[in-house]
């Protein structure tokens, strides 16, 4: 594969050298797991999954053995500010929301589940 920069390897080497001048970097070789993305290469292409990331979310929330609900809440439910007790650890909820937003950004097909 070629481009205006020569071969792909030459381009990659040039980009690495440029980044090394700007930052302290370390080449760890072929990516296998990066930012929650599992990367697998085969002769037919590259497969990117997030099975491990999703499993960590489920395990961290204690929902590994939870039963699935067909409808999480009754349709038409109205929420008010005083509709329940405050969470004992709101930072855990915020962390979960952030992780689900990241998952939704990297896997748009999961948006119906988030």
pLDDT digits (tens, 9 = 90+) for 28-71: 888 899 999 999 998 999 999 999 999 999 999 988 888 887 77
Mean pLDDT of the region 19-24: 96
At residue 114 the predicted structure's pLDDT band, cuts being 50, 70 and 90, is low
Structure confidence at residue 1 (pLDDT): 46
Question: For residues 2 and 42, which has the higher predicted lDDT (pLDDT)?
Answer: 42
Give the Å distances, CA to CA, from 29 to 32, 36, 50, 75.
Answer: 9, 17, 20, 50
Phi-psi region of 15 (alpha: psi -120 to 50; beta: other; left: phi over 0): alpha
The answer for residues whose C-beta is within 8 angstroms of residue 73's C-beta and 6 or more apart is none
pLDDT digits (tens, 9 = 90+) for 78-111: 888 776 788 888 899 999 999 999 999 888 887 7
List the helix and strand counts (H, then E) for the chain. Answer: 3, 5
Separation of alpha carbons 26 and 91, rounded Å? 33
pTM of the model: 0.65
Structure confidence at residue 110 (pLDDT): 77
């Amino acid at each position: 594969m070629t481009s205006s920069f020569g071969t792909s390897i030459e381009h990659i080497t040039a980009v690495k050298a440029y980044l090394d001048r700007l930052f302290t970097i370390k080449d760890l070789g072929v990516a296998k797991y990066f930012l929650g993305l599992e990367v697998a290469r085969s002769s037919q292409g590259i497969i990117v999954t997030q099975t491990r990331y999703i499993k960590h979310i489920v395990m961290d929330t204690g929902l590994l053995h939870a039963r699935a609900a067909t409808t999480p809440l009754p349709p038409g439910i109205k929420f008010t500010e005083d509709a329940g007790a405050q969470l004992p650890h709101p930072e855990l909820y915020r962390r979960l929301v952030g992780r689900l937003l990241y998952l939704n950004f990297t896997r748009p097909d999961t948006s119906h589940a988030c």
